[in-house]
Structure 1
Amino acid sequence: MTATLDRPCAPIARVSGCDLSVPLVQGGSRVYANFDYAASAPALAQVTDRVAELLPFYASVHRGAGYASRVSTDCYESARGSVARFVNCADDQTVVFTRNTTDSLNLLAACVPGDTVVLDVEHHANFLPWRHRGRRVVTTAESIETTIDRLADELRAKPAALLAITGASNVTGEVLPLKRLATLAHRFGARILVDAAQLAPHRRIDLCASGIDYLAFSGHKLYAPFGAGVLIGRRDWLDAAEPYLAGGGAVREVTVANVEWAPSPQRHEAGSPNVLGAVALAAACDAIGSLDEATVREQESYLTERLRAGLEGIAGVRFLRIWSDSADGVGIVAFTLAGFEPGHVAAYLSAEYGIGVRDGRFCAHPLLARLGVDDGALRASVGLGTSVVDVDRLIAAVAALVESGPGWDYRSDEGQWNPVPETRERLTGHGAAGSPCGW
């Protein structure tokens, strides 16, 4: 949906750190402008409230007889239901709690009974786990249409068990036609896995309607940064595979000579689970699911287009794009700035303007090489807590850099750019007064 660029726009939701004040290298402070949602999103207020509510009852789960244990067990298992409803699970699909998307994909990689086809644009989390398990890499074409044709040719030429694909690029935000890709995979006897780490925070995903067999995403990108992720998918492969971890909770019966493993999801959740993380993730699913989808998409589109339009008018800005015919994308803008290393720009934005962006190769080295930016790029990502004021501040800061240069000296130390001298108290050394976590 195309939004107009002339209307006021407040954040959709309240997030932790929305009023965080950060020091500036030249003195004083500014409210932090977070444009790094694609890496880790701050917690929604509903998430922190839910965790605070559960903390007094936190106890062992599944085998505890005490009241707190019963409450914790009920909350942990109820969290599966919230996640399942959030993505409209099919009857033969189950929810396995993991640490993050990377953990989920590595778990599934050990369960796939055959080759896996991937694109060369994937995040490392959906590229490396298949490396020693029959990975077949398809080179991305200039257009989505030609890329899909290449995937079809690969699946037609040789059977594969799985097509593993990103839902939205973590570099450019471009979204692939997942229902169409699921149909393609099924036509050639393969299943489809979607890495939804970037898609789930921005788009509603319906597993039943789309035909997606497996889905993975992380709490820390879904406004629940409490160390949990999920793998959602069909039970048969999960139940046939060896447990991801061997230990308590994954078994039905153990003798000295033998073990009877439990079915999924318990089969792959050995050890004491991250109860608070699972509950936080479920709270985020419930909170996001209660928002009006059309309103969220319109606002995200508005903010992203405003950011892109503002940066486009600055000399030297070059946007990154994978496909010439991509028509849909989430709130991510990746770009380079002629004459400046990405790390230098990111350090300048942080030190002089209190703005947080991402720089580097975004755990997608093959894609960055394909786009001709081996030295990395800048990525600004918007989320539920982003405002028009934030967007305009970022545009103004980049424009000022191009027009007048930085107001401070910066030096690269083994690839890490820092202001010289560093005057921000909380970054001058460990144990600084007033800093969090005992820095």
Structure 2
Amino acid sequence: MSVTVERAVCATPSTQRSLLPVVGSGTQVPLVDGTSRVYANLDYAASAPALDAVAARVTEVLPLYASVHRGAGYLSQVSTALYEASRQTIARFVGARPEDVAIITRNTTDSLNLLARIVPTGPDGSPGRVLVLDLEHHANLLPWVQGSGHRTTILPIGPTVAATLQSLAAELSAWQYTLVAVTGASNVTGEGLPVADVVALAHTAGARVVVDGAQLVPHRGFSLTATDADYVAFSGHKTYAPFGAGALVGRRDWLDDGTPYLAGGGAVRDVRTDRTLWQPAPARHEAGSPNVIGAIALAEACAVLAALPDGALAAHELALRTRLVAGLEGIAGVEVLRIWPDSTEPVGVVTFTVEGHDPGLVAAYLAAEHGIGVRDGRFCAHPLLVRLGAPGGAIRASVGVGTPGEAVDRLLIALADYLTTGPLARYVVEDGCWVVADDTRPLIPVHGLDGLAATAAACGPTVEAASGSCRPRRAAHTAA
């Protein structure tokens, strides 16, 4: 199929700077033509880079790291104080009410699985009812349907935001639900329902609301107090603190009474051979040695983001997103995916398809020939991709505080080049993923890649070892 560019892309290059400095912003990556370029990271929706301030904070506190909560040593007391202060900072960042509690988890998935275990039964002792929409990320879908002792309804979304809210209201009036689980912003399109409206509908019907804040919290901010939502879950690795911590913040009663998420030390008051007395939250759900450094890193990211001038974060992403969408819509054959025509204020996540071209091939080309990192596949939101008419996957570009306008321009120019000139390299499918055939790009000299380099040298540029390719491959499950 012949595809042409309908109008010039990026005739005037963007001069927009990043909002905050991030680690790795100047990293050079090799290209197939033998040159290198600064990496254009447009994959923030998957994992965002660390803020410079977060990396500096981790370096500062590492010498002070020790056991927490039960250590008599001076550094143990310091680490405990830092850990608990971080919990408070994280709670404030999402507008927690005074009576709310913050549980330090691994990520959003961990947080939602924790909450799924403690949904109480109905007044008559029957399993609690949970309502979710069919646009959810698997992290906010699978925990509710995998037999956690409650009944779950997956409600199809409507053709508009207004119609979806009407459908939600009708469903809530028809059944007595215990909990509504809803995304704050889609990881596919950046769109979301107005959270305060969802909360009002649910509370009127006697149900609580948990917000999957993985994409919303780092990009727009969120407040439990302002929205009256009951719980919010989010991840450090999407909030510029990729050190393995996330959080579940919300009402204390379920968390105090629910079955502990993990059984182990720190979660108990007293243990005998015939019974166990559990701690209240948060300790009840933080068995084992906690991720002290991860919590401190997440708290630092929260503090830095909270200190930005009002509206600065939204304005930065809006400018990038507007430029990106306008540029994509100006390329014939490219379709930007949207959930609803009446949605407002989407975050900086844009997903698109290129008619007649495999998403994995386009993504591999962007990386190998332009040094651009995007995501391809179905983004752990398979039902939504089917609904949007892209069951085979799409391409996602996502931005954040460290994204300069130049990165968006590079993507648009690269797509135009792909559709007019075509790839320079030859691409093949290996293990279900598109890769450069006979890839000769050098490995970045970093400890841990020695084995790959040695294998490449032994095999030669065009030969594969018996155990696999001489070049590092993308994981075969990327399409998920």
Question: In the aligned structure 2, how far is the partner of 1:287 from the partner of 1:50?
Answer: 11
Structure 1 SS opposite 2:131? strand
Q: Which of these residues, 116, 139, 152, is aligned with residue 169 of structure 2? A: 152
Q: Which of these residues, 121, 126, 129, is aligned with residue 140 of structure 2? A: 126
Question: In the aligned structure 1, how far is the partner of 2:96 from the partner of 2:213?
Answer: 15
Which residue is equivalent to 2:24?
Answer: 17
The residue type equivalent to 1:23 in the other structure is P
Map residues 222-241 of structure 1 onto 2, 5 A cutoff.
222-241=239-258
Q: Sequence identity, in percent?
A: 56
Aligned 8 A contact 2:220 2:313 in 1: no
Which residue is equivalent to 1:255?
Answer: 272
Question: In the aligned structure 2, how far is the partner of 1:423 from the partner of 1:58?
Answer: 43
Which residue is equivalent to 2:383?
Answer: 366
Aligned 8 A contact 1:26 1:423 in 2: no
Question: In the aligned structure 2, how far is the partner of 1:316 from the partner of 1:144?
Answer: 27
Measured after TM superposition, the shift of residue 328 of structure 1 is 1.7
Measured after TM superposition, the shift of residue 106 of structure 1 is 0.2
Which residue is equivalent to 1:79?
Answer: 86
Which residue is equivalent to 1:430?
Answer: 451
Measured after TM superposition, the shift of residue 429 of structure 1 is 7.9
TM-score (ref. length: structure 2) = 0.88
Structure 1 SS opposite 2:188? coil
The residue type equivalent to 2:366 in the other structure is L
The residue type equivalent to 2:323 in the other structure is R
Q: Structure 1 unaligned segments of length 5 or more: list them.
A: none
Measured after TM superposition, the shift of residue 6 of structure 1 is 8.3
Measured after TM superposition, the shift of residue 240 of structure 1 is 1.1
Is 1:300 the counterpart of 2:317 in the alignment? yes
Measured after TM superposition, the shift of residue 43 of structure 1 is 0.2
Structure 2 SS opposite 1:174? coil
Structure 1 SS opposite 2:250? strand
Which residue is equivalent to 1:214?
Answer: 231
Structure 2 SS opposite 1:418? strand
Measured after TM superposition, the shift of residue 338 of structure 1 is 1.0
Is 1:313 the counterpart of 2:330 in the alignment? yes
Which residue is equivalent to 1:397?
Answer: 414
Q: Structure 2 unaligned segments of length 5 or more: list them.
A: 1-11, 121-127, 457-471, 473-480
Question: In the aligned structure 2, how far is the partner of 1:58 from the partner of 1:153?
Answer: 52
Which residue is equivalent to 2:73?
Answer: 66
Q: Which of these residues, 102, 107, 128, is aligned with residue 114 of structure 2? A: 107
Question: In the aligned structure 1, how far is the partner of 2:172 from the partner of 2:243?
Answer: 38
Is 1:189 the counterpart of 2:189 in the alignment? no
Question: In the aligned structure 1, how far is the partner of 2:165 from the partner of 2:282?
Answer: 33
Q: Which of these residues, 30, 33, 41, is aligned with residue 26 of structure 1? A: 33
Which residue is equivalent to 1:92?
Answer: 99
- CA deviation vs aligned residue, 1:260-290 (integer Å, no higher than 9, x gap): 1000000000000000000000000001000
Question: In the aligned structure 2, how far is the partner of 1:244 from the partner of 1:7?
Answer: 48
The aligned length equals: 431
The residue type equivalent to 2:138 in the other structure is H
Structure 2 SS opposite 1:129? helix
Aligned 8 A contact 1:167 1:199 in 2: yes
Which residue is equivalent to 2:438?
Answer: 421
Question: In the aligned structure 2, how far is the partner of 1:92 from the partner of 1:72?
Answer: 24
Aligned 8 A contact 1:315 1:402 in 2: no
Structure 2 SS opposite 1:40? coil
- CA deviation vs aligned residue, 1:357-416 (integer Å, no higher than 9, x gap): 000000000000111111100000011111111111110000000011111100112321
How big is the alpha-carbon RMSD for the aligned residues of Structure 1 and Structure 2?
1.5
Which residue is equivalent to 2:131?
Answer: 117
**Higher deviation after alignment, 414-423 or 219-228:** 414-423
Measured after TM superposition, the shift of residue 7 of structure 1 is 6.6
Structure 2 SS opposite 1:394? helix
Question: In the aligned structure 2, how far is the partner of 1:112 from the partner of 1:6?
Answer: 51
Is 1:245 the counterpart of 2:259 in the alignment? no
Question: In the aligned structure 2, how far is the partner of 1:149 from the partner of 1:75?
Answer: 45
Measured after TM superposition, the shift of residue 206 of structure 1 is 1.4
